[in-house]
Chain A
């Protein structure tokens, strides 16, 4: 079965979350919306899977969370990127870019039958 865009997404969900927090602190729904907006909905992300992924990142101390009170007076859990998380994002991003560049090069090259 062919890989869908969504499957590809799973492995890199962590990196996307880190990236979403790079610009500023967000709650879970905010992260989901950010991914939607940035990718123009081209990545189908199952919103529920966001939260276990956030817990994993928190366990690794790449993300920290705190509780805030929203404008509508509701308790909201807000996530922030830690210093370690920012470093991790840079590493993962550059690895990803290198990989993507390499794969792009391969795919664009002329097929050689020799």
Chain B
């Protein structure tokens, strides 16, 4: 194959221009000489030669173009050929050491997989744009009041939608939506659907429109206009078979008839989980309240005006806010009334994600250190092979490239396994996202995630490949080629490299372990002391009473009393409450104050709830004073408040027997109940007041049942008790109370699980690292140990020497790790609950645990060292 060898003929490759010049000049010179022989003068001969050659310059140009093109092509082909050769050779090398290859790929898969998984979540949460037009210009707007019919009689408390729309310097479009739920009939079967009332401009603000049919037109956003809905693609598939004939079809939402005019595209589900969009006519009347339990939780979205920034828009909104209502003089400016929509959807999850991403990166570094160690150990066994290749003419660059190709092969192998791991764990990871975001943009393994994985894998291979490559390419031929030189000159330097890597592993692992410890401690704190309820043996279910059947003031209390009476039995107690704690619902805030000092300075915010007598007992809260009464006494109104509200209203005094006021109403505090977490288990305590259900019944209630019976039996009992009186009334969201609490901290739980997982893996990898390095050291020092034993060293001396090596490395690593964890601790503070980020107990426990594990890992090679037979060890020479 001449092509293959041609490049070796001239060291730097052919010099195209010189070659052409040489060749053509030779031709002309020869022809000149020929003419001269035939009797021409020098000048004549040369002229004639030129003439018979033709256009020398043109030919030169032609050849130069041709040869340069050929050379480029040739180089590319050579490179590809070399690469293929490297790949083939690398694969053969890896296949010849299957245990090594599998170990490296497994370690890399762990490190890369953790990063792939976390990245897929961050990609979904932060990087991937929301499925809206120009999503970076979309913001959420707080404090938008939606005008309603009767509001003219009340002083307005916030700027109205129209005020926002008028502010064209800040916003180009503004829309408001309100979420609720209604019963849908007219599809395949009656279902409870999530609905959103949306103002005109809603779809245009988001920049998306219907996939089938049309958006509602202006007339349909007017009061008294035609009643129409737009449905989500999922509902269209489930309830209408995905048929286009759905357009124009009539459906019934809680007894009101609507016409379907459009279907949104499949990836449009905003706000999260919504099945139907209903035009909201402004000002709105009471008729839409059915979906909202008498309270319209509206949320504003807007598209920023061209050139407007989020901060500018926020200033404008705060200025609007201050023009209204009773903003007191010392009321500080509020700066976060306008926020990027993505930020709002992400909520408070960002910190957790950053911590997880950092932890995954630490884990990857540990994996790199581990793999570097494995590579170094393996490199020692390959010194002869490399030396042979160098002797046979491989350049240093070629050897290094070969080693990197092997590293890259391992990394890509690790990446493939990593993607599989990430795909499997995706279900767990979804819990990291708030439901609002997970519904719109769920994490998937898409091209970007795959590209990320590949990049991180190749970067990893550079990190773990560079050290062994530099070491091996400097192989000293003389000593390497000698048979006995296997453990020769470089071993001390390599030993130091191993040591540094182990120290790094131990210190990084300790940081992760401390993080995991802090998370576990937070979780324990949360679960131990905080909920304010005793969730064991409690099940709950929710009821929503249709307005028509339960319209009279007494209907709901009577129905509930019947159900609760039927539920009660020896060992079973039951009660009802308007909103279950820790189910995510906050309740409605009221501004209350002591009756004797009814002013702004003494007022406090209280979330108002309604309960039947016995509720505190059933849910397991501590109650001082009297329970709520079973029957209403309109002359003597009473309330139970929680400790936080009691402290705020009457600091340092006993609240029981005091009068509280909100508006014109006065109530006597008859009891004080311990704080119950409101929306989530990890909420801060908020003021609460409980009013008797007998005077304040609403169209919904949660029933709580405590009994020692099996939870399934209790749920069946609950369903039966309701069915007796109203067979058509569904009991939904039936769960055990501990499930409710667990769900309220699901993201924290996922964070904790992942950090504990990372910490555990890190410790495992570090332990393996310590073990591998000491084993390698023992193998290298067999002869030295043999000499020591021959000179009278005891087994205990040998053990002390080897374990001492391990402990020395571990202690240095632990020290650095403690320092690192201390420096990094403030970043995790926001994730912790009831534990200092520098908690000395956890720091100490983690350090001791890691040192102990490392010490244990050192014992095995140490014991192996004691079995060294001095005679064999010395004879090996």
Interface residues of A, Cβ cutoff 8 Å to B: 27-29, 32-33, 46-49, 51-52, 55, 59, 64, 66-67, 70, 74-77
Residues of B within 8 A of A47 (CB): 27, 31, 52-54
Q: Are B22 and A77 in touch, CB under 8 angstroms?
A: yes
A6 to B54, CA, bound (A): 14
Cβ-defined contact, B53 with A48, below 8 A: yes
Establish whether residues A55 and B66, one from each chain, have CB atoms under 8 Å apart when the complex forms.
yes
Contact with A along B217-241 (1 / 0, CB 8 A): 0000000000000000000000000
Judged by a CB distance under 8 angstroms, whether B23 is at the interface is: yes
Given pairs A32-B27, A47-B54, A48-B53, 10 additional interface contacts (CB within 8 A) = A27-B23, A29-B26, A29-B31, A32-B31, A47-B31, A51-B23, A55-B66, A74-B22, A75-B22, A77-B19
Closest to B20 in A: A51
User: Is there contact, CB below 8 Å, between A74 and B26?
Assistant: yes
Q: Please name all residues of chain B whose beta carbon is closer than 8 Å to the beta carbon of A29 when the two chains form the complex.
A: 26-27, 30-31
- CB-CB under 8 A from B31, the residues of chain A are 29, 32, 47
A46 CA to B31 CA, complexed, in Å: 13
Task: Report 20 cross-chain contacts, Cβ distance below 8 Å, ordered by A residue.
Answer: A27-B23, A27-B26, A29-B27, A29-B31, A33-B34, A46-B52, A46-B53, A46-B54, A47-B54, A48-B54, A48-B56, A48-B59, A51-B24, A52-B59, A52-B66, A55-B67, A59-B70, A74-B22, A76-B23, A76-B26
Q: Are B52 and A51 in contact (CB under 8 A)?
A: no
Chain B 126-140 per-residue mask, 1 if CB under 8 angstroms from chain A, else 0: 000000000000000
Q: B: which residues have CB within 8 A of A?
A: 2, 9, 19, 22-24, 26-27, 30-31, 34, 52-56, 58-59, 62-63, 66-67, 70
CA distance A65 to B30 in the complex (A): 19
- On whether the beta carbons of B26 and A51 are closer than 8 Å, the reply is no
Task: Assess the A49–B54 pair: CB atoms within 8 A.
Answer: yes
Q: Which of B2, B27, B56, B63 has the most CB of A within 10 A?
A: B27
| A67 to B: closest C-beta gap in Å | 7
Q: Give Cα A33–Cα B2 distance, bound, in whole angstroms.
A: 27
**One of B2, B22, B30, B63 near A51 (C-beta < 8 A):** B63
Name the one of B23, B52, B67 contacting A28, with C-beta atoms under 8 angstroms. B23
Interface pairs A-B: 4 shortest CB-CB: A48-B54, A48-B59, A29-B30, A46-B54
Nearest A-chain residue to B52, judged by Cβ: A47
Contact A51 B59 (CB under 8 A): yes
- CB nearest to A75 among chain B residues: B22
- Complex Cα–Cα for A13 and B56 (A): 19
B55's nearest neighbour on chain A, judged by CB, is A48
Complex interface: chain A residues within 8 A of B54 (CB):
46-49
Q: How far is the CB of B822 from chain A (nearest CB, A)?
A: 69
**B12 → A minimal CB distance (Å):** 15
Bound together, the chains give a CA A48 to CA B2 distance in angstroms of 27
With A47-B54, A77-B19 known to touch, is A52 a contact of B26 (CB < 8 Å)? no
Residues of chain A within 8 A of B58, CB atoms compared: 48
Is there contact, CB below 8 Å, between B2 and A67?
Answer: no
Chain B residues closer than 8 Å to A77, beta-carbon distance: 19, 22-23, 26
Give, as a whole number of angstroms, the nearest-CB distance from B726 to chain A. Answer: 91
List, in ascending order, chain B residues with CB within 8 A of A28's CB: 23, 26-27
**Residues on A with beta carbons closer than 8 Å to the beta carbon of B55:** 48
Chain B positions within 8 Å of A27 at CB level: 23, 26-27
- Among residues of A, the one whose C-beta sits closest to the C-beta of B54 is A48
Whole-angstrom distance between the alpha carbons of A48 and B9 in the complex? 27
B559 to chain A, nearest CB (A): 95
Cα distance, A28 to B19, chains bound together (Å): 13
**Bound Cα distance A3, B58 (Å):** 25
Please state if B63 and A55 are interface contacts (CB–CB under 8 Å): yes
A46, A51, A77 interface centre (most CB from chain B within 10 Å): A51
B22 touches A64 (CB 8 A): no
